Amino acid sequence: MGRIRSEKDFWAGVLYALLAIAFLWMGRDYRMGAASRMGPGYFPLTLGWILLGFGVVSIARSFFVDGEPVRGVAWKKLAIVSLAIVAFAALLPGAGLLFALPALIAISALASQQSRYDAMSLFALFGLTAFCVLVFVKGLGVPMPIFGSWFDGLVPHSWQR
């Protein structure tokens, strides 16, 4: 094999491949199911194979296409996005998806200099949240609380899932 001509493609491919291996390993004991009736392993295994494909293509591309070298890691942005994911995981059981997802979106938006907090962004935030509730919780039956345990007794049980 030749030398690496695009460091960014190479390292992005390595990251994709490592994430893919993690998803494939985590989902190895879960039942796959089918597209019409997804089992608990469907998402991690499908995502793992897709990421692995992207990783292999990106690594291969790095040997044939010229690209820029890696100049550094945006640690602040990485920390903000990581904080957003931790906030989502912490809020989901207690507050539910209706509060955890907007927190994830609002916090992670801080990592971008192009993000703005205006009426259109607020509309997009509410629209994405409603879409996720309707598609994932109601449509696909993903066991995720719409309202978490903090709202027990405050909202009807039928609204919680």
Structural domains in the chain (count): 2
pTM assigned to the model: 0.68
CA pair distance 62, 36, nearest whole angstrom = 37
Q: So what's the pLDDT on residue 16?
A: 95
What is the H or E stretch that residue 75 is in? Answer: helix 75-95
pLDDT band at 30 (very low <50, low <70, confident <90, very high): confident
The pLDDT tens digits of the residues spanning 73-109 come to 889 999 999 999 999 999 999 999 999 999 999 999 9
pLDDT band at 44 (very low <50, low <70, confident <90, very high): confident
Whether the predicted pLDDT of 28 surpasses 80:
yes
- In terms of domains, do 133 and 57 share one? no
Residue 67 lies inside a defined structural domain of this protein: no
Q: So what's the pLDDT on residue 113?
A: 87
Helix (H, G, I), strand (E, B) or coil at 10: helix
Residue 110 lies inside a defined structural domain of this protein: yes
- In terms of domains, do 80 and 151 share one? yes
List the domain range (segments joined by +) for residue 125. 75-160
CA pair distance 146, 22, nearest whole angstrom = 28
- In terms of domains, do 144 and 81 share one? yes
